[in-house]
Amino acid sequence: MTSFSPGFHGRAHPLTDRLPPGQYPTESFPVLSTGPTPQVPTETWSFTITTESGDSRSWTWGQMMDLPQQETVTDIHCVTRWSKFDTRWRGVSLDAFLEEVETSAEYAVVHSHGGYTTNLPLEDLLDNKAWIAHTYDGYPLSPEHGGPARLLVPHLYLWKSAKWVHGLQLTHDDEPGFWESVGYHNYGDPWREQRNWGD
């Protein structure tokens, strides 16, 4: 029979301090979607920001690719309890899109192909905290992971990083999106386990 010396509790995962409560680390990248996977060619893709006053600014794929590109390596956390460390992305910071947009809005509603929406405070999209990502691990982002481009907001649960993104609506009022309207937490901080409205 194996015996252990007093106080032995086994070895902690080396990245435990980067793992939010209730999460487990995985090497895979699970695919979770609410419906069919949209197939959006880059030739017709566009991204539009609409302000609270109704003014809008749009970028084609080529215009987005002409904006400053950033590489980011970050951990991502899904509300279904998996976390993936050191994911590698390339894309455009939301700051680059928003720097010439006149707004006094405090919130944003993200719109995706397929009708999906999610809501965030505008401050969570600024200061290099969020990107429109088009490349994952050195390859063009696949449709099942939100390609050709998705929102990436890694400090919140991954449902806030809307796949197949095509627009951002700026608002004065916080307007719950798809999952938030059916009981998911309005904000979604993984470190506070904000999975459901009551959390």
Residue 54 in domain: yes
| Number of domains making up the chain | 1
Give backbone dihedrals phi and psi of 43, rounded to 5 degrees, phi first. -65, -30
At 84-130, the pLDDT tens digits run 999 999 999 999 999 989 999 999 999 999 999 999 999 999 999 99
Question: Tokens standing for 188?
Answer: 């979604």
Q: Supply the pLDDT for residue 14.
A: 62
| For residue 166, pLDDT beyond 60 | yes
At 140-158, the pLDDT tens digits run 999 999 999 999 999 999 9
Residue 136 in domain: yes
- By C-alpha distance, which of 89, 187, 94, 81 is closest to 147? 89
- By C-alpha distance, which of 52, 134, 132, 61 is closest to 96? 132
**40 burial class (0-12, 13-18, 19+ CB within 10 angstroms)?**
buried
Residue 18 in domain: no
| For residue 2, pLDDT beyond 50 | no
Question: Tokens standing for 194?
Answer: 């904000």
Residue 184 in domain: yes
Structural domain span for residue 63:
44-192
Strand bridging mode 24-25 / 82-93: parallel
Residue 129 in domain: yes
| CATH number, domain containing residue 144 | 3.90.420.10
The answer, as to whether pTM is greater than 0.85, is yes
